[in-house]
Structure 1
């Protein structure tokens, strides 16, 4: 069993070595294609985040009860739905004069908050970093203004507004990751093509192939005679004939 496994690994390595040129070429081509698409074809996408705090107004005695905290946490799930609803996004579109519909704008917005945290993060992705920050901040502002009318509560405050950095970095695409994935795909395709070509190659190259394909026993072999040995053999043959 161990001998068969060793022979299998040797054949595997032999095929990879034989077709290494194909694997290298396909890997280089795949890396070049993925790099070209990532660096020149895909539009960079930037992200801006605004954080809001869900927090009931304190009572006159300054006591903040456990029940109030539980109420705020339960409301967060409802707020997450309201933030991306047309009630909030339509005024945002009008205020910023955006060429989006509420459903299109929803695709650019994601809402998140940590477990048992009353901080809600509004994340907006856009090809324009400045527009992403404007949308994120405006969504938070409109939500803060509208929530008292929608739910008769006033427990929203803006904790951290989105700001445009001097050198914004896109969050998409991940160029290096795409190149690495392209290289991995090239290697896998190259290995697959190598074994496919080897499987389709029906030429007989060794005595093992004769036994496998023709089912005939090998009783003798004619080895290849190198040129120097062939000359030496011919010279000896002439001498033998003269004598």
Structure 2
């Protein structure tokens, strides 16, 4: 026999497990907030930009082919910037106690499509250190690329600077809490329906009819204690009145 669940039954299930759903949602949001605010280390980002473009004198003409060559070189430059040839020198110059592999994990290099500007972004728990690494990486690359590829077409377009009150790029506590609340709500609803699915106890006449596939002939209503006492009092009063009428006659 195929079972169907009505919309009313779904709402009844949610209503019955409402406290469970709210508890799971609240706990998820609270845990996410505590972890985001007190346990995760804030990470700051600083960026510097370099321009890939051959220096020109007053008599030089604009050459589209040279621009195209510079664009093709950018992918190679992106790899060279994060190579040990550059980062080893950056680590030695800064003397921050980190090696080239650790610097590589902090640095991200990228450029927009058909753009001669390369962006060097550095993430670090300290905003000052992030800016220092970004600027030093750009300086070392500008100096060493002349020896590595025998070209001089790199200039620093913008240096990384630390704002007065820098904001971390991660974690984002409010976003984390919002995501945790949504996930907690979904988990709570899922658990509520799962508990309802595995709950095979018989609670009402509909469950009896569904399990035994037999029609319901009658229902014994429940009477609470107060109503029972009222019925006893009425019966006692009626019996007392009947006895009085019998004695009077």
Q: Deviations over 1:20-76 (max 9, x none)?
A: 111111111111110011000000000000000011122552311110110110000
TM (normalized to structure 2)? 0.90
Aligned equivalents of 1:87 and 1:8: distance in 2? Answer: 68
Deviation at 1:165, TM superposition (A): 1.3
- Matching of residue 43 in structure 1 with residue 41 in structure 2: yes
Q: In the TM superposition, what are the counterparts of 1:154-169 in structure 2 within 5 Å? A: 154-169=152-167
- SS state of the match for residue 207, structure 2? helix
Unaligned runs of 5+ in 2: 243-249
Match of 1:137 in 2: 135
Aligned equivalents of 1:183 and 1:177: distance in 2? Answer: 10
Aligned equivalents of 2:188 and 2:122: distance in 1? Answer: 40
Match of 1:95 in 2: 93
Aligned pair count reads 239
Equivalent of 2:53, from 52, 55, 59?
A: 55
Equivalent of 1:64, from 46, 57, 62?
A: 62
Aligned equivalents of 1:229 and 1:41: distance in 2? Answer: 58
Equivalent of 1:186, from 184, 188, 203?
A: 184
Aligned equivalents of 1:106 and 1:228: distance in 2? Answer: 78
Aligned equivalents of 2:40 and 2:48: distance in 1? Answer: 26
Aligned equivalents of 2:219 and 2:117: distance in 1? Answer: 81
Residue range with higher mean Cα deviation, 198-207 or 160-169 = 198-207
Deviation at 1:228, TM superposition (A): 4.9
Aligned equivalents of 1:110 and 1:57: distance in 2? Answer: 26
- Output the aligned Cα RMSD: 1.8
Larger radius of gyration: 2
Aligned equivalents of 1:54 and 1:96: distance in 2? Answer: 25
Match of 2:205 in 1: 207
Deviation at 1:190, TM superposition (A): 1.1
Unaligned runs of 5+ in 1: none
Equivalent of 2:76, from 75, 78, 81?
A: 78
Deviation at 1:240, TM superposition (A): 5.5
